[in-house]
Amino acid sequence: PLQGIWVDVQVKGFVADVSATLKYKNEEEKAVESVFVFPMDEDSAVYSFEATIEGKTIVADLQEKEQAHKTYDEAISRGNQAFLLEKDESSGDIFSCRVGNLPPGQEAEVTLKYVRELPMEADGAVRFVLPAVLNPRYTPKDHKVSITATHPQVSVGKIPYTLSLNAHFQSAYGIAKIESNCNITPLEYTDSDKIHAKVSLADGHKFDRDVEFLAYYTDVNKPSVIMEAGLGATDPAQKPGPAPPGDRIN
């Protein structure tokens, strides 16, 4: 039921902000519950999870694990659509996503956003890796099993979904080149100073391996700072006005 994966990566210096959207379709003749598992570096921090089905968007609510399972099970028992994202207890770098009561022929999209600090290799390259998704599968509602259990191996030709990935790089050090273990489009600079650049995976890429990018900055030892605009929830500080009239003591 996994149809495709769309990933947007924003690399700013030594930090990556990743947004991954996974599209599912129930090709069965009845509503199903599916479990999809995918690895993630244990230093990654998930900060957003939402799902869209039948034109409605569900934004995740952070709950204690037991309460989250209870909320999910109650929604499923009422016949409602529900999604549950959790980390596997036996492996800190594996996440699972449960898609419950997906109607026949219906599509659903889940979007996961996370950030992580990027390591530097011995040759000075900054390394980003997008782990391959493990084999998705259906599971019965009452089937309790660790999501890190053995998964059948799938040959490249049998993988039914593809990956579309766009990567944007920003570095005050200057960007010399980007290398990858996969076929990518030519590096495109988006400014004359060569501090902004982008690449994409070549069309038709099969998500059968980890996707790796090595970013080589021109002057990696140059001091720099990256600033981002806030949410704009508060007004910017105003300069103080003149003091009220009164006695002045020198």
Using the 8-state DSSP alphabet, how is residue 237 labeled? P
Query: What pLDDT is stored for residue 149 in this prediction?
Result: 41
For the domain bounded by 2-143+158-217, which CATH number is listed? 2.60.40.1730
Query: What pLDDT is stored for residue 136 in this prediction?
Result: 45
From 125, 123, 153, select the one nearest 137 (Cα to Cα).
Answer: 153
Query: What pLDDT is stored for residue 193 in this prediction?
Result: 92
Q: What are the domain boundaries of the chain?
A: 2-143+158-217
From 135, 22, 42, 152, select the one nearest 87 (Cα to Cα).
Answer: 42
Q: Which helix (H) or strand (E) holds 74?
A: helix 65-77
Query: What pLDDT is stored for residue 186 in this prediction?
Result: 95
Whether this prediction's pTM lies above 0.95 is answered by no
165 - beta bridge partners? 7
Query: What pLDDT is stored for residue 142 in this prediction?
Result: 45
- The DSSP string of 31-58 is -EEEEEEEE--TT-EEEEEEEEETTEEE
- Residues 41 and 6: their CA atoms lie apart, in Å, by 19
Coil, strand or helix at 165: strand
Average pLDDT for runs of 10 along the chain of length 250? 86 94 85 73 82 80 80 82 72 70 83 92 93 52 41 44 89 94 94 95 79 91 65 51 42
Tokens 């069309």 appear where?
Answer: 203
